[in-house]
Each structure stands twice: as C-alpha cells, then as structure tokens.
Amino acid sequence: MKIKNREEWEMEHNLDGEVKEMAQLYIQKGCSREDSLTILSVMSNYKDLFLEHMMAVEHGILAPDDSDKWQPLKQGFVCFLAFACFGLVPLAGFVVYYAIAGASAKSSSFTVLAIAYGLTVLTLFIMGLTKARLTGSDRVLKSGLMMVFNGTFAGGVAYLVGEGLVAASA
C-alpha cells in the first residue's frame, strides 16, 4: 500500500517524470523512445489505468481482483483440504502397515520411518508435479524434486528440533 500511495503522489505532483520513468522501462524492453512516450502519454490521461500499469510494470504488483470477495476464503479452504489430505498419507501408511503385519507385529522404528518417509517423498513429488502443471511451468521434474528437497529439509529440521527438546527435557 505504501508503494501505491507513493506512486499516486508522484503522479499528482510529477506526471511527466512518471511518464518518462515508465518510458525508460519500455525502451529497455526494445520500444523506441517516441513510441513509448506516445503510448504512455495517452495512458497517463487515464489515472487509474496508468497507476495500475505502473504498479505492474515498475514494481511487479498486480491489482487485486475485486470481482470475487470469497476468493481468499476459497483459497484458504483449498489449502486446508490439501494440507489435510496430503498430511494423512504418511499416517495411512502406518495404518496399512499395521493392518497387513498385524497389531502384534514387532517392527523396528527404522521400518516405520522408512515407510513414512517413502510415502512422504512420493506425496511431495506429486505435489510438486501438480504445482508445475497448474502454474503452466515447463520444469515439471525440477518442481517435483524441489518440493521433495524443501519438504525433506523442513521435516528434518522439525525432527531434529523435536529430538533436541526431548533430550533437553530429560
């Protein structure tokens, strides 16, 4: 909001300077000086459009879409569902393991952790692939691997902190 207020103030007090500043950005992208000044001079007659354009081109900030006031709630609900569903995958692995091996099965903690980690890696990789597909990225494999790396790092740190707290309390 600070950036938008500053840009509004600059438009009100130095519109020609803002047009020239934007023209430099157009020139850097290959537009001629004359064409960029023509385009931006016309656009500057429409204050809201010019402000929105400056925010996007100069600062990379897109105006919010006010057409759907429920969008943040929808996004939060989808995020919650994804977290809950994907978070249940390692737990489901334990349930299936003990259902197959039997309730009295003597398993090492390594086996149980290996199953949980294997399912978590698979889930994280699928999440990374899905993210790349939904965002239109052509780096699908890289996205999957980065998700696995980030998830493994975050999980490892959380595990070490937990172990450190247990050791400290003993």
Show me where the domains of the chain are located.
2-59, 71-169
Residue segments in the chain with a per-residue pLDDT below the cut of 70: 65-66, 103-108
Question: pLDDT value at position 122?
Answer: 92
Question: pLDDT value at position 104?
Answer: 62
Question: pLDDT value at position 3?
Answer: 86
Q: What is the DSSP string of 37-86?
A: HHHHHHHTTSHHHHHHHHHHHHH--PPP-TT-TTHHHHHHHHHHHHHHHH
Question: pLDDT value at position 65?
Answer: 66
Alpha carbon distance 124, 155 (integer Å): 12
Alpha carbon distance 166, 36 (integer Å): 64
pLDDT tens-place string over residues 43-87: 999 998 999 888 888 888 877 766 777 878 888 888 898 888 888
The Cα diameter of the chain in Å comes to: 81
